[in-house]
Amino acid sequence: MKIIDVTSEVFEWERPGIWNGNHFYGPGKLHKVTVYTDEGVTGTGWNGGTAAERPLHLMPGYVEYFKPLLINQDPTNTRKILTDLGTNMIKILGPAGLNTQVLSAINIACWDIKGKIENLSIHEMLGGEQKRIRTYIAGGYYAKDKGIQELENELQYNINELHATAVKIKIGSQDTGITNDIKRVEASRAAIGPDIKLMVDANCALNLKQSLEFAKQLEPYDVFWFEEPLNIYDYEGHKILSESTEINIATGENGYTKEHFNNLIAYNAASIFNVDVTICGGYDIGLEISKMAENKKISIAPHGCQELQLPLAAATKNGIFLEYYPTEVDPIRKEMFLPALLPESDGFVTLPTRPGIGFELNMDLLNKYKVY
């Protein structure tokens, strides 16, 4: 089997603005890659589709750059393709960046092809250790006219309608400040009660001094993890913070390379890795990172588009959570992926057994928003 073509499409739509400690998210965006083979089997991968504000309009240029290097390659040799177009291209493209994100989408599309050929789900091909996995509902963003009451209403909706047993909120906005953020955390704990796990996410917005103060003030509220408190390369800061608090430190969603995770391990910087297959290079690298973490008794809770992260989250025994984005993050998400992935009554989701990714993009919907 050989690759005969690779195409790229970009979609963009309006949605209410939301923000975290570091970034404002305006229009919704998705970049789709399709890989075609000489045997008529096609695979699909994508970037975005969640709260991403990345310049996806630049990605088709990388697809066109990679295309002649992909033609006549065997799409099932996913690791070789990553090495050829990633590691071996560092002198030309640099170690990581948008090129890595595009390679991730290509890798996902090739794994989709492998699954269809073998009539297996990607989850099964990655190891398939868990058949169901617990979700946590991602949200708690800052938004215009969104106060404490609106945050409490959102969290209660997640519990009552999405069967949440764990929820996450944002902290770290310099406009809000630590005092008001702690009030949000206090209100969140009161709204969800003592039995629901509560996570907080600063999206790299804090320095070490601020992170240490936040961690100290978070401890009375039984926070399960403190996500991305610091710049991702502040390994020493992560180590100091991890040693100073009983709260789990989680990071990794912006980790482009295995080397980054090796550094996190060497510094004992975190107890949970939020690896993202649309950023790290795809399923091959994601699985290697997960197994590295498992060997060090580090948990994984993959970040990003749940339909793509699900196979990895449940592939190994150390997967503890799947991040789940509700329609509060993006209203059209309800119809964007087919079939819809919904938490069951206990807050878990069951892994699909459909070949490949197991989910398809709703092109009838997305084609209304195609820009490239």
Q: What is the pLDDT of residue 70?
A: 98
Q: What is the pLDDT of residue 295?
A: 98
Q: List, in order of start, the domains of the chain with CATH numbers.
A: 3-119+363-369 (3.30.390.10), 124-360 (3.20.20.120)
Confidence at residue 180, expressed as pLDDT on a 0 to 100 scale: 96
For 131-173, give the secondary structure using H, E and C. CEEEEEEECCCECCCCCHHHHHHHHHHHHHHHCCCEEEEECCC
Residue 172 has pLDDT above 80, yes or no: yes
Evaluate the CA torsion angle 284, 110, 344, 153 in order and state its sign: positive
Considering the chain, what is the average pLDDT of its residues?
96
pLDDT digits (tens, 9 = 90+) for 339-351: 999 999 999 999 9
One-letter amino acid for residue 166 of the chain: A
Q: How confident is the model over 234-241, as a mean pLDDT? A: 98
Share of the chain above pLDDT 70, in %: 99
| Nearest C-alpha neighbor of 30 from the set 330, 350, 340, 341 | 330
Is the pLDDT assigned to residue 42 strictly greater than 90? yes
Whole-number pLDDT of residue 200: 98
Give this prediction's pTM: 0.96
For residue 49, pLDDT over 90 is answered with: no
- pLDDT, residue 290, reads 98
Q: Which residues lie across from 44 on neighbouring strands? A: 34
- Helix H, strand E, coil C: the string for the chain is CCEEEEEEEEEEECCCCEECCCCEECCEEEEEEEEEECCCCEEEEEEECCCCCCCHHHHHHHHHHHHHHHCCCCCCCHHHHHHHHCHHHHHHHCCCCHHHHHHHHHHHHHHHHHHHHHCCEHHHHHCCCCCEEEEEEECCCECCCCCHHHHHHHHHHHHHHHCCCEEEEECCCCCCHHHHHHHHHHHHHHHHCCCCEEEEECCCCCCHHHHHHHHHHHHHHCEEEEECCCCCCCHHHHHHHHHHCCCEEEECCCCCCHHHHHHHHHCCCCCEECCCCCCCCCHHHHHHHHHHHHHCCCEECCCCCHHHHHHHHCCCCCECCEEECCCCCCCCHHHHEECCCCCCCCCEEECCCCCECCCEECHHHHHHHECC
Answer yes or no: is pLDDT of 155 > 90. Answer: yes
pLDDT at position 327 over 90: no
**pLDDT tens per residue, range 269-303:** 999 999 999 999 999 999 999 999 999 999 999 99
322 vs 22, more confident = 322
User: Mean per-residue pLDDT for 258-266?
Assistant: 97
Give the model's pLDDT for residue 329. Answer: 87
Structure tokens of 308?
Answer: 């793509």
Instruction: Return the structure tokens found at 330.
Output: 């993006």
**Token digits of residue 173:** 């906005």
Q: What pLDDT was estimated at residue 52?
A: 66
Whether residue 130 is predicted with pLDDT greater than 90 in this model: the reply is yes
Q: What percent of the chain shows pLDDT beyond 90?
A: 94
Using the CB atoms, write b or e for 267-288: b if 16+ within 10 Å: bebbbbbbbbbbbbbbbbbbbb
User: What was the pLDDT predicted at 51?
Assistant: 65
Rounded to an integer, the average pLDDT of 147-172 is 97
The tens digit of pLDDT for each residue in 219-234 reads: 999 999 999 999 999 9
pLDDT value, residue 50: 74
